[in-house]
Amino acid sequence: MTWKAYRVAFRLLSPTHIGWRKLGNMQQTRPYVTGRVLWGAFTARLTRDLKSYEYKQIGEVVDKQLAFTYFYPSVSPNPDEVDLWPWGDGQKNDSQELFFWKFLDSYASTALSDVHSAEESSLHETEFIAPFVRNQAAYEKPQPVFLVGYICENEASGAHEKYVLENWHRVLDTLQIGGERSYGWGRVRLAYPLEEVTNERCFGCVLDRTKERPTITVPRGERLLAHTDTKRLETVENGTLEPLVGRETTDNTSFGKSVSHAQICWIPGSMVSEDETFQIQPRGIWQ
C-alpha cells in the first residue's frame, strides 16, 4: 500500500479559533490546527456538497482515505521552512513569546440585555490565530499568515471512498476550520497548488508512505508535532500530558452533540530522547 503525500499551504482569510481551554473570561485558542479539526472541516464540506446527512459515514471514509499532520502558522508557505514554533526552539531565547506576539490576537465582546445594555457577567474574550502577523514597526508591510502541513491520500475502492478521493482537492478553497464559523471565522484559501512530496520528508522528519498508515520518524532530541498516544512511549522528556476529546456528530445525536472518548496524549512540542517512529492515526494522532 502506497500513500501519496502533499505539501499544503492555506492562506488565512479571517481570524481562526481552534478551541482549547478557558482561563477566566478568556477562551484560548490552540496555536496550531489539529488533525481532528481538519477531519471535521473536510467531513462537513464533503457531506454538504453531496447534499447528504451522512456525516458519520463520510467521516469514517475521510479517516480511511486521508491522513493529516497538524498545521502550523508560518510566514512561509513551505512547511519545511517554519522557523517559529509555539514552544520556541527559534534563534532567539524569547522565541516562544515572539510566536504568540506575532501570530495570536484576541477579540472582546459581550451579550446585550433586552434593554440594549451589556448583560451582566457576559463579557468574554476570544483568542484567535490572526490572518496577518503583528509587525514590530508600524511602517512594515503586513505579512499574511499561512497554515502549513501535509495531507496524505490512500487508494479508493467503494463509492464513498472514490467520492472523497476525487473531491478533497476541490474543496480546499471552501473549507472553514475551527470555531466561531457563523461569524465568518476560520476561512482559508489554498495559497499555492498542491505539491506532491517526493523526497520522503515531512517537517524535516523521515516520512514512510508504504505502510498501512503513513509513518514519521522523529530524530532524538526533536519535538513531537502532533498529539501522541502515551501507550508504549517512554522516551518523551520535557513533555506535557493532555486528555484529548472532541465533539462529533453520530446517527443518534444532533450536530456536534456527541463527545468522543478521552485519549491521553503527549502534546505537540514534547521532546523525544531517542529516535522514534510514529504512525499517523485517524484525526492526525500519532501512535
State residue 88's pLDDT score: 78
Q: Give the pTM.
A: 0.92
| Alpha-carbon gap, residue 111 to 180, rounded angstroms | 15
State residue 280's pLDDT score: 98
State residue 258's pLDDT score: 66
User: Are β-strands 258-259 and 247-248 bridged in parallel, bridged antiparallel, or unpaired?
Assistant: antiparallel
| Alpha-carbon gap, residue 241 to 270, rounded angstroms | 9
| Alpha-carbon gap, residue 83 to 260, rounded angstroms | 33
Residues 77, 146 contacting (CB under 8 angstroms): yes
Average pLDDT for consecutive 10-residue bins of the chain (287 residues)?
93 96 90 96 94 90 96 95 86 78 88 64 83 80 95 88 94 94 94 94 96 96 95 84 79 62 92 96 95
- String of b and e for 89-119 (b: at least 16 CB within 10 Å)? eeeeeebbebbeebbbbeeeeeeeeeeeeee
Phi, psi of 66 (to 5 degrees): -125, 145
Domain layout of the chain by residue ranges: 4-284
User: Which of 70, 220, 216, 222 shows the shortest CA–CA distance to 149?
Assistant: 70
